[in-house]
Amino acid sequence: MSNIDAAELSDIDVKMVGVEDQPEMRILFDVVVEAEIEVSETTRHYDESDLVTQWFDIRCTGDLDKKLADFEILNVATYNQKSKHNRPLSDSLVPILYKDQVEEAATAFLRKNYPKALKTPMALDVSELAREMGMTIKQRSIISDFSVFGQICFEACDIEVFDEETGETVTEHFGAKTILVDPKAYYLRNLGAVNNTIVHECVHWDRHRKAFKLE
């Protein structure tokens, strides 16, 4: 065709989705689609139509706390394989972290949640870290065989814990941002194990809330 008079989208197929982490609960994501477009040309002598395909990159954004109700398309462009995300997330919205990025990620975590540790060398006070992040630490026996040291509540929920006095499992309600630590860890393991458990759960909250929200 020398001159296209009309073009109409006849079909579209999603090929892949790439997600980039954003502040708080926002995400930036690229939806790569293959579009089938019917083009036509009309002259005095004939009508001619044809089907062509083109890949497009549709850049979108939204807030998971709003269940993507604020979904917005930022840009539509011809797909370019060279486009990359600076802070990629997996399909499950878990941050993708490579070995050479661990130190950078740890520094970013401290800068956000415990900045004074970057100014003066010091031992990390895990209780203070938890408070700075708005977390509440509670001691509970999580499971009878002590196979789970800690647990975090991403949202207010009912959790089964082990009652040492009765030897039975009971259900207890905990608020969001609650960290449960098994008190047996203090004397069956050591204080270092307890501290590692608390920091572990703090990092869960900082980096894995989006994955939980997706589920």
Q: What is the pLDDT of residues 130-144, one digit of tens each?
A: 999 999 999 999 988
Q: What average pLDDT does the chain have?
A: 90
pLDDT at position 148 is 87
Q: By residue range, what is the domain housing residue 23? A: 6-89
Of the pLDDT bands very low, low, confident and very high (cuts 50, 70, 90), residue 115 is: very high
Q: Which residues of 109-127 are buried (b: 16+ CB within 10 A; e: fewer)?
A: beeebbeebeeeeeeeebe
**Tell me: the pLDDT tens digits for 9-38?**
889 999 999 999 999 999 999 999 999 999
* Same structural domain, 47 and 109: no
Q: At which of 89, 111, 143 does a domain end?
A: 89
**Tell me: the pLDDT tens digits for 127-179?**
999 999 999 999 999 988 888 889 999 999 999 999 988 999 999 999 999 99
pLDDT at position 205 is 96
Residues in the chain: 215
Mean pLDDT of 50-57: 91
Q: How far apart are CA 66 and CA 44, in angstroms?
A: 54
Q: What share of the chain is helix, strand, coil (3-state, %, to 5)?
A: 25, 40, 35
C-alpha 45, offset from chain centre: 58
Instruction: Identify the burial level of 18 via C-beta atoms within 10 angstroms of its C-beta, where 0-12 means exposed, 13-18 middle and 19 or more buried.
Output: middle
Instruction: Identify the burial level of 130 via C-beta atoms within 10 angstroms of its C-beta, where 0-12 means exposed, 13-18 middle and 19 or more buried.
Output: buried
pLDDT at position 46 is 66
* Same structural domain, 107 and 193: yes
DSSP state of 120: S
Quick check: is 94 in a domain? no
Q: At which of 63, 89, 115 does a domain end?
A: 89
Quick check: is 166 in a domain? yes
Report the percentage of the chain scoring pLDDT > 70.
Answer: 96
Give every CB contact of residue 106 below 8 A, 6+ residues apart in sequence. Answer: none
DSSP state of 112: H
Quick check: is 121 in a domain? yes
Quick check: is 128 in a domain? yes
Quick check: is 168 in a domain? yes
Q: How far apart are CA 67 and CA 214, in angstroms?
A: 9
Q: How far apart are CA 105 and CA 118, in angstroms?
A: 13
pLDDT at position 140 is 92
* Same structural domain, 67 and 103: no
Quick check: is 1 in a domain? no
* Same structural domain, 110 and 32: no
pLDDT at position 102 is 92
* pLDDT at 77 exceeding the cut of 70: yes
Question: Which amino acid does the sequence have at 181?
Answer: V
Q: At which of 67, 89, 111 does a domain end?
A: 89
Number of domains in the chain: 2
Quick check: is 16 in a domain? yes
pLDDT at position 6 is 83
Mean pLDDT of 55-79: 95
For CA atoms 72, 74, 76, 79, the dihedral sign is: negative
Mean pLDDT of 38-60: 83
Contact in structure between 182 and 149 (CB atoms under 8 Å): yes
